[in-house]
Amino acid sequence: MILRLRERRLELPPGRPLLMGIVNASPDSFSDPGERALGDLVELARSRARDGAELIDVGGESGRTDREPVPVEEEIARVAPLTERLAAEGLAVSVDTWRAPVAHAALAAGAVMINDVSGLSDPGVADACAEAGAALVLTHTRVPPKQKGFPDYDDVVADVAALLRDRAGEARAHGVDDEQLVLAPGIALAKPPAESVEVIRRLPELAALGRPLLLAVSRKDFVGALTERPPAARLAGTLAAVGAAADGGAAILRVHDVAEAADFLRVQAALRERDGAVPHLAEELRREPA
Point out the residues that are catalytic.
220, 254
Three-class DSSP category at 216: strand
Contacts within 8 Å (CB) and 24+ apart, 33-39: 38/81, 38/82, 38/85
Residue 285 burial by Cβ neighbours in a 10 Å radius (0-12, 13-18, 19+): exposed
Q: Residues with Cβ < 8 Å from 114, sequence gap 6 or more?
A: 94, 95, 97, 103, 106, 107, 125, 128, 129, 134, 135, 136, 137
Number of H helices, E strands in the chain: 9, 10
CB burial of residue 81 (10 Å; 0-12, 13-18, 19+) = middle
Q: How far apart are CA 79 and CA 96, in angstroms?
A: 9
Cα–Cα nearest to 206, from 156, 242, 256:
156
C-alpha–C-alpha distance, residues 168 and 25, integer Å: 28
Q: At 157, give phi and psi (nearest 5°).
A: -70, -40
